[in-house]
Amino acid sequence: MAAAVLVAAPSAEAAPLFGGSVGCVAQPANGNVRLCSGIAKTWDGQTKIDVNVVLPPQPAGADGPYPLIGDFHGWGGEKLGLADPGVQGWAERGYAVFSMSDRGWGNSCSASDLPDRLLPTCEHGYNHLMDDRYEVRDAQYLISVLADEGVAQPQRIGATGMSYGGGISMALAALRNRTMLPDGSLVPWTSPGGKAMAVAAAVPQWPWSDLAYSLMPNGRTLDYVADAPYKGPNGDAPVGIEKTSFVSGLFSVGATTSNFSTTDSEADVPAWYARINVGEPYDGDPTAESIVEQITTFHSSYYINHAEPPAPLLIQSGWNDDLFPADEALRFYNRTRSQYPGDPISLFFMDDGHARSQNKPADIAVFEARLNAWFDHYLKGEGAAPGSSVETLTTTCSAPSGGPYTASGWKDIAPGEIRLDSAAAQTIVPGAGDPTAGTAFDPIAGKTPCTTASATDQTGVANYRLAPTPAGGFTLMGSPTIVANVESTGPESELAARLVDVAPGGTETLVARGLYRPGAGGPITVFQLHPQGYHFAAGDIAKLELLPSDAPYARASNAQTPIVVSNLELRLPVVEQPGSLGGLIQTPVPKVLPPGYQLATEYLGGAAPVVKVGTAGLAGPIRATRKKLIVPLRCHGEGSCSGTIAMRAKGRPKAKRPRLVARGSYAMAAGQVVRLRLPLTKAGRKLVAARLAKGARRTKLRGRLELNDAGLPTRLDLARTIKLPRKHAHR
């Protein structure tokens, strides 16, 4: 009925949307586009979401359905409207534009949303930290209602947004035509009226793909591998290092203006923040490990089941964005190009994003032209197919950005390489480093990529210098790579790396940085700094600093021990051709692959997919202690396995529904067998305790095991028995 009313409306105003709860008014001061603003109920039938829908000016003929762009706000923001310059432009060009205040922000139950925040409509309206099952599903549901009402074309949906809005855009693209239910299962995305829905294109800006890695990197992401999960392909990588200045600032904004829950263990951001700030040891601590599991499983697009390709993606990231660096885009790009080489996915990197970025208007204008062309083609069928490519603009201070540089893929954007070799052992001493340099390079308090510090070598820090740059200079384009012997006696130690540009006057400028948790160390270590596009001028010196911490940007370890680095090789990818600059520029040498990793397709020189995805299966009986569920899994096939797992059981045969006993995720190499030790939920601990209280013979609990495996198109649901401990077992 609403669709018919919308099509037939003769005035400049459209019919009310969302069942009549959101009215629409023409805006003469904005080209007569129509703004529909108000409160709508989301998929649970209760929680209120504040929405804006901007429609094109009233047409002479049929009014819709239109291709729709979802434009999503950042952390601390709220729904976008006509104050956003892009919204009116899209509406004038024939798009419907949807935006919402995410749960816990603006008039969607934020701290200032009184008295509504105290009403039943806000009982579940708290901030879920961009959870695929809540905020992302809210967007899907509300957009699908617009499809039922004749506003949106159900198969021509676009998504974009910056930062927090980039995160939801990535998730919508990864889900594409699926939606995630509260239990973590995936089902087809359909409207309330039964329309099949799908995202046709997405342009995430400054996004994350792995929120755990963004906030606590461990250094295991490499820009040339096909798959880079947080815990590594073998599932044994350590928990990383907190980006303190950013995490503290983000939490402060949320704590004062959003709406956090302290009773929902799956969204208890204050408790998560408190535990992370206690510091090491993280590994082996059930609370810390469960936080990583939650963040990767439900808040990170990279871990959404990728048995289907994502929607066409143009991902824009910033070189100097110390919160969500460019490797957040590269992680998703490499796996997609390797698994689905024909699926459109492009990258655009420049100096914009979170602090320390400059966000130059001229650069933004170049990117916005690419964004509009992407949406016009994939949502409206206009213009040539953008295809898959990489485009970059470099970081500069007093001059316009260099570029654009373009290539068909990430590997080809930097055909040359500069290498520095140093066999001598250097010791990184706990507590060493100049705090004034750390403060100068901290992204908070208005720092820029042009901030300088003293270039004097710091005592107790490993320092490596190239020769002065020859005439003409060279342009770094990519991730500086360190290959070295790293000896660390403390598994909780950390290593902070900075690549700086030393000017002839004795000052240094931060070019790139990275954090690495060595763990036990090993004979050969490889890790990378975040990518950068930067020109080293003639006479300048590229210098690498390895420090025990990068405070105040990153949290210093509670248990730092001396780290000895020897046989170091620094590799700098550059745009110059091999043989240039008197032979300084060399042909890139083969990449170093840690155990379990595979090269991305581009680095193999082939067009066929090389990511072989295996499937996980049980490798033995499921057991439980009083605190853990132990699930043996084997990775079958020639490829690695990854996914999520959940176990449900009923305490009584006549119970209405099974309870969640345990949940987690896994990553395994081909042929590997692991024994997952999943923390029992509160309900799981109660079920085990109640069954044991019935007597020694009650040593089994029947349940259902759910596997959402990347190698399977649908969830695997198995009836299985949990073997319980004897009453005296307490581990």
Query: Are 508 and 629 in the same domain?
Result: no
Query: Are 122 and 44 in the same domain?
Result: yes
- Kindly indicate the confidence band of residue 728, based on its pLDDT and cuts at 50, 70 and 90: very low
Phi, psi torsion values for 86, nearest 5 degrees: -75, -30
Rounded CA separation 126/654 (Å): 33
Other Cβ atoms less than 10 A from the Cβ of 322: the count is 26
Query: Are 171 and 118 in the same domain?
Result: yes
The pLDDT, as a whole number, for residue 238 is 96
Other Cβ atoms less than 10 A from the Cβ of 172: the count is 29
User: Residue 29 pLDDT > 80, yes or no?
Assistant: yes
Query: Are 99 and 205 in the same domain?
Result: yes
63-72 mean pLDDT: 98
Domain-located, residue 228? no
569-593 residue pLDDT tens: 999 999 999 999 999 999 999 999 9
Mean pLDDT check: name the lowest of 2-11, 52-61, 615-624, 660-669: 2-11
DSSP SS3 for 682: helix
Mark residue 417 as left, alpha or beta (left: phi above 0; alpha: psi -120 to 50; beta: remaining).
Answer: beta
Looking at the chain, the whole-number percentage of residues with pLDDT higher than 90 is: 79
User: Residue 108 pLDDT > 50, yes or no?
Assistant: yes
pTM for the model: 0.87
Query: Are 308 and 161 in the same domain?
Result: yes
User: Which is more confident, 691 or 422?
Assistant: 422
CA neighbor of 254 nearest in space, from 127, 367, 346, 143? 127
**Which CATH number does the domain housing residue 387 bear?**
3.40.50.1820
Domain-located, residue 282? no
User: Which is more confident, 418 or 714?
Assistant: 418
The pLDDT, as a whole number, for residue 5 is 39
Q: What angle do CA 207, 209, 215 make, to 5 degrees?
A: 80
Query: Are 581 and 635 in the same domain?
Result: no
- Kindly indicate the confidence band of residue 321, based on its pLDDT and cuts at 50, 70 and 90: very high
Looking at the chain, the whole-number percentage of residues with pLDDT higher than 70 is: 94
Query: Are 165 and 51 in the same domain?
Result: yes
The pLDDT, as a whole number, for residue 286 is 94
Computed from CA positions of residues 353, 354, 360, 364, in that sequence, does the dihedral angle turn out positive or negative? positive
- Kindly indicate the confidence band of residue 701, based on its pLDDT and cuts at 50, 70 and 90: confident
Residues whose CB is less than 8 angstroms from the CB of residue 528 and which lie 6 or more positions away in sequence, other chains included: 219, 221, 222, 223, 327, 479, 480, 481, 482, 514
The neighbouring-strand residues paired with 704 are 648, 719
Mean pLDDT check: name the lowest of 531-545, 632-646, 682-696: 682-696
Residue with token string 């994003």: 353
User: Up-side HSE of residue 203: CA atoms within 13 Å toward CB?
Assistant: 21
CA neighbor of 671 nearest in space, from 727, 710, 723, 615? 615
User: Residue 660 pLDDT > 80, yes or no?
Assistant: yes
192-203 residue pLDDT tens: 999 999 999 999
Domain-located, residue 544? yes
Count of structural domains within the chain: 3
Choose the final residue of a domain: 371, 392, 407: 407
Rounded CA separation 486/464 (Å): 15
Domain-located, residue 655? yes
**Which CATH number does the domain housing residue 554 bear?**
2.60.120
Domain-located, residue 236? no
The pLDDT, as a whole number, for residue 10 is 42
Query: Are 394 and 429 in the same domain?
Result: no
The pLDDT, as a whole number, for residue 691 is 79
The pLDDT, as a whole number, for residue 695 is 62
331-341 mean pLDDT: 97
**Which CATH number does the domain housing residue 652 bear?**
2.60.40
Domain-located, residue 548? yes
Residue 463, token pair as written in the block: 């320092």
User: Residue 95 pLDDT > 50, yes or no?
Assistant: yes
400-423 mean pLDDT: 98
Query: Are 324 and 176 in the same domain?
Result: yes
| Average pLDDT score over the chain | 92
Choose the final residue of a domain: 552, 573, 601: 601
User: Residue 609 pLDDT > 50, yes or no?
Assistant: no
Query: Are 580 and 512 in the same domain?
Result: yes
Domain-located, residue 608? no
Rounded CA separation 638/665 (Å): 20
Which structural domain, as residue segments, surrounds residue 675? 615-723
User: Residue 9 pLDDT > 50, yes or no?
Assistant: no
User: Residue 722 pLDDT > 70, yes or no?
Assistant: yes
User: Residue 692 pLDDT > 80, yes or no?
Assistant: no
The pLDDT, as a whole number, for residue 617 is 85
Query: Are 466 and 561 in the same domain?
Result: yes
Mean pLDDT check: name the lowest of 180-194, 299-313, 675-689: 675-689
Rounded CA separation 686/722 (Å): 14
285-293 mean pLDDT: 96
Burial level of 262, CB count in 10 A (0-12/13-18/19+)?
A: exposed
Choose the final residue of a domain: 375, 407, 439: 407
| Rg of the Cα atoms in the chain | 26
Domain-located, residue 258? no
Computed from CA positions of residues 526, 527, 529, 530, in that sequence, does the dihedral angle turn out positive or negative? positive
204-216 mean pLDDT: 99
Rounded CA separation 538/517 (Å): 34
User: Residue 536 pLDDT > 60, yes or no?
Assistant: yes
The pLDDT, as a whole number, for residue 730 is 40
Per DSSP (E only), the strands in 163-310 are 178-180, 186-188, 199-205
Query: Are 623 and 591 in the same domain?
Result: no
342-390 residue pLDDT tens: 899 999 999 999 999 999 999 999 999 999 999 999 999 999 999 899 9
The pLDDT, as a whole number, for residue 449 is 96
